[in-house]
Amino acid sequence: MTDLVLPLHSLHRRLGARMVDFAGYAMPIQYEGIIAEHQWTRSSAGLFDVSHMGQLTLPLAADAALEALLPGDIAGLKTGMLRYSLLLADNGGILDDLMVTRREGDLYLVVNGATKVADLAHLRAAGLDVTHHEDLALLALQGPKAVAALDRVVSGVAALTFMRAAAFDWEGVPLWISRSGYTGEDGFEISLPADRAEAFAETLLAAPEVRPIGLGARDSLRLEAGLPLYGHDLTADITPIEAGLAFAISKRRRVEGGFPGAAIILAQLAGAPARRRVGLAIDGRQPVREGATVIVDAAIAGLVTSGGFGPALGTPIAMAYVAAAATADGTRLQVEVRGKRLDATVVPMPFFPKSYVRGATI
Amino acid sequence: MTLYFTKDHEWVSVDGTTGTVGVTDYAQGQLGDVVFVDVPAAGTSVAKGAAAAVVESVKAASDVYSPVSGAVTEANAALEAEPALVNTDPERAGWFFKLTLSAPDELAGLMDEAAYKTFVASL
């Protein structure tokens, strides 16, 4: 199967990216190298093309119907604000994680690229009048210097705070910009017409602070930030409570319920799930990968769902689902890699501190 | 000292029945930033074409196949402290292991430097 091509394809090629298949699209995995790109994003500003993600809109009146599919308070979401939420199955498993924004005229959803087709079918089956905006590109500008670089091009974005969004204009091109991202750094996500994305990306890349960053560093950045990746750390067999995402169950919804799997999820919230997602710091230098077995007291006690090397930490780190008895911070356990057992410690996440620019408490 | 190459982008430098094995510059470019190398200990028997070492980049683990059969005599201890040698000097300081060849006639099936360069150019 030929990979689908995204709006910035020719720009990636011109910038020397190595392209790989990801979610059916040809995507840049790296430009100069994952470690250099990772460190650049942590110290300056990195530009990511995330146009493979699904950009959807719903009528404002669909908020109640949307709440029947996810545990977030959408009715109470204020205009210009984002909420992280989860599409749930009836057993409480996670079908996708997504961002929901209430705008003046609609609800704007950003869903994962690999799941967007299934998400569309799921939303439509629930009777929602959903529009898939395939004519939009999505860029992320992330890092401590993102605000300065973007504000020079799009005056006023510096006034946004974390998880807030607004409409902007760049040379007549409509931009929808949120202060959000998936790297643990301060930064922005910019939705814009696909046919103007290359010109806008090149304008950002002309800034001395900004370099293009591939999917490889996007993965190592989100891993260091302790952020779970759908299809790996989150699946239809994992509940939000097991995943450590209780914050995504809004206060009102905890009282009212009415979302798929509510009985199971609220029971786990009140008690304790049998397993939980934890961070692991691995002794030594050898990385552990997704699929590696976690051993506690010589017995299998869990599974690694994401693992690699943390470039800003200089050590191997991982996320794993581990039996409740072994989830306390400081617990010593082992991870089996190619028949060898590596010692590891349960540690709090994020592995690397987040640097969000928060506004007033919401 | 004669240099041979495989289609899997390993090299072996041979002096009599002693060989030194590593990965090529092309391979390190494909692997990306190397953060760990799992090399076979002295005494390990390796077979031509079988996985003998594992190289871990930030993103993934990849097998390295032995170009020839033999008994490992030395692993490159320098890679433990500085795995990035595989990126910076893959065909010299970034060698993986040395071995005593048990079937030197296997070398006949490998490429010389000119043939390997032609092969890489065709990729």
The tens digit of pLDDT for each residue in A164-207 reads 999 999 999 999 999 999 999 999 999 999 999 999 999 999 99
pLDDT band at A2 (very low <50, low <70, confident <90, very high): low
Q: Which CATH number characterizes residue A206's domain?
A: 3.30.1360.120
The rounded distance, in Å, linking the Cα atoms of A304 and B63 is: 20
- Residue A282 within any structural domain of the chain: yes
Contacts of B58 in chain A (CB under 8 A): 34-35, 38, 216, 220, 308-309, 311
The tens digit of pLDDT for each residue in A99-126 reads 999 999 999 999 999 999 999 999 999 9
Do residues A142 and A281 share a domain? no
Do residues A202 and A308 share a domain? no
CB contact under 8 A, B61 and A29: no
Q: Strand, coil or helix: what is A329? A: coil
Nearest 5°: phi and psi at A123? -65, -40
Beta-ladder partners of A181: none
CA distance A35 to chain B (A): 7
Q: Point out the residue among B33, B56, B58 whose CB comes nearest to the CB of A286.
A: B56
CB contact under 8 A, A34 and B33: yes
Last residue of one domain, picked from the residues A162, A194, A224:
A224
Mutate to test the interface with B, among A35, A41, A313, A338 (most CBs of B within 10 A): A35
Which pLDDT does position B87 carry in this prediction? Answer: 97
- Residue A234 within any structural domain of the chain: no
For chain A, report the end-to-end CA distance as a whole number of angstroms: 46
Using CA atoms, how far residue B51 sits from A338, A341, B39, B45, B59, in Å, is: 12, 19, 10, 11, 19
Do residues A218 and A291 share a domain? no
The tens digit of pLDDT for each residue in A113-161 reads 999 999 999 999 999 999 999 999 999 999 999 999 999 999 999 999 9
Do residues A210 and A317 share a domain? no
Contacts of A216 in chain B (CB under 8 A): 32, 58-59
CA distance A335 to chain B (A): 15
Do residues A47 and A193 share a domain? yes
- Residue A2 within any structural domain of the chain: no
CB contact under 8 A, B35 and A30: no
10 Å CB burial of residue A157 (0-12, 13-18, 19+) is buried
The tens digit of pLDDT for each residue in A246-255 reads 999 999 999 9
Which pLDDT does position A229 carry in this prediction? Answer: 98
- Residue B53 within any structural domain of the chain: yes
The tens digit of pLDDT for each residue in A20-45 reads 998 889 999 999 999 999 999 999 99
Summary mean pLDDT of chain B: 96
Going by C-alpha positions, the residue among A40, A69, A64 that lies closest to residue A187 is: A40
Do residues A45 and A158 share a domain? yes
Number of domains in chain A: 2
Summary mean pLDDT of chain A: 96
Question: Are residues A60 and A74 in contact, defined by beta-carbon separation less than 8 angstroms?
Answer: no
The whole-model pTM stands at 0.94
Q: What is the DSSP string of A204-240?
A: HHTSTTEEE--HHHHHHHHHHTT---BTTTB-TT--T
- Residue B81 within any structural domain of the chain: yes
Percent of chain A topping pLDDT 70: 99
Which pLDDT does position B107 carry in this prediction? Answer: 96
Can you give the residue range of the structural domain that contains A204? Answer: 9-52+134-224
Which pLDDT does position A362 carry in this prediction? Answer: 46
- Residue A85 within any structural domain of the chain: no
In sequence order, the 6+-apart residues with CB closer than 8 A to the CB of A96 are: A86, A87, A111, A112, A115, A118, A119, A230
Q: What is the mean pLDDT of residues A276-284?
A: 97
CA distance A211 to chain B (A): 18
Do residues A215 and A288 share a domain? no
The rounded distance, in Å, linking the Cα atoms of A194 and A185 is: 25
Q: What is the mean pLDDT of residues A211-221?
A: 97
Side chain identity, residue B116: Y
CB contact under 8 A, B58 and A308: yes
Which pLDDT does position B59 carry in this prediction? Answer: 84
- Residue A114 within any structural domain of the chain: no
- Residue B66 within any structural domain of the chain: yes
- Residue A36 within any structural domain of the chain: yes
Q: What is the DSSP string of A113-153?
A: GGGHHHHHHHHHHTT---EE-TTEEEEEEESTTHHHHHHHH
Side chain identity, residue A146: A
Going by C-alpha positions, the residue among B28, B18, B8, B30 that lies closest to residue B94 is: B28
Both tokens of A14, joined, read: 């011109």
Do residues A145 and A47 share a domain? yes
Beta-ladder partners of B74: B98
The tens digit of pLDDT for each residue in B29-88 reads 999 999 999 999 999 999 999 999 999 999 889 999 999 999 999 999 999 999 999 999
Which pLDDT does position A360 carry in this prediction? Answer: 66
- Rg, C-alpha atoms of chain B: 13
- Residue A33 within any structural domain of the chain: yes
Last residue of one domain, picked from the residues A189, A224, A259:
A224
Q: Which CATH number characterizes residue A342's domain?
A: 2.40.30.110
CB contact under 8 A, B33 and A220: no
Which pLDDT does position A361 carry in this prediction? Answer: 52
Report ipTM for this prediction. 0.86
Beta-ladder partners of A321: A277, A303
Do residues A292 and A174 share a domain? no
Q: What is the mean pLDDT of residues A2-31?
A: 92
Contacts of A29 in chain B (CB under 8 A): 59
- Residue B122 within any structural domain of the chain: no
Number of domains in chain B: 1
Can you give the residue range of the structural domain that contains B43? Answer: 2-117
Question: Are residues A52 and A31 in contact, defined by beta-carbon separation less than 8 angstroms?
Answer: no
Q: Which CATH number characterizes residue B10's domain?
A: 2.40.50.100
Last residue of one domain, picked from the residues A224, A239, A255:
A224
Question: Are residues B37 and B97 in contact, defined by beta-carbon separation less than 8 angstroms?
Answer: no
pLDDT at A295 over 60: yes
pLDDT at A3 over 90: no
Question: Are residues A120 and A177 in contact, defined by beta-carbon separation less than 8 angstroms?
Answer: no
- Residue B123 within any structural domain of the chain: no
Q: Strand, coil or helix: what is A298? A: coil
Do residues A47 and A154 share a domain? yes
